[in-house]
Amino acid sequence: MLMNPVKQNIDLGIVVSDPTECLHFYRDILGLEKTEEITMGLGTLHRLQYCNSDVKLLVPKKAKQSGPEGLQAQEGIRYFTMVISNIKEVVTKLTEENVPFEIPLTEIRPGTTIAMVRDPAGNVLEFVERS
């Protein structure tokens, strides 16, 4: 490997225009812990912790236009995955919060169940439970 990693995971940066809705989704609904808020040249960064990874919500100083939403709307990074052990509980909470599903709770093969939702900024998250 060319790089010498110092962290055993990859962090995710998401550019958002509405930090209130996105913080509600990631912190209040999904339960990620907000660990830091930094004001910098680009805007404001809200750092949330998911296990050993960081989900970073960047609110830019200059408003950006959002692109197409949805899993198959365009090329590029279209979703990220969280492997969990309580998918039915998470899906129930997301349903109660009226979070839009890209793919409802589905057993995609024996022992593997997924659900995919869109966050307030239109990004797709996949939840996976393997037995």
Domain boundaries, the chain: 1-63, 77-131
Q: What is the per-residue pLDDT for 76? A: 76
Separation CA 5–CA 121 (nearest Å): 30
Q: Provide the token pair at 88.
A: 């039915």
Residue 59: other Cβ atoms inside 10 A = 21
Q: pLDDT tens, 38-82?
A: 999 999 999 999 999 999 999 999 876 777 776 677 777 788 999
The yes-or-no answer to whether 1-63 and 77-131 have a common fold is yes
% the chain with pLDDT above 90: 73
The third-level CATH classification (topology) of the domain covering 77-131 is 2,3-Dihydroxybiphenyl 1,2-Dioxygenase; domain 1 (3.10.180)
The strands making up 79-83's β-sheet, listed across from edge to edge, are: 79-83, 124-130, 112-118, 101-109
CB 118 within 8 A of CB 124: yes
CATH architecture of 1-63: Roll (3.10)
Residue 69: other Cβ atoms inside 10 A = 15
Average pLDDT of the segment spanning 26-35: 97
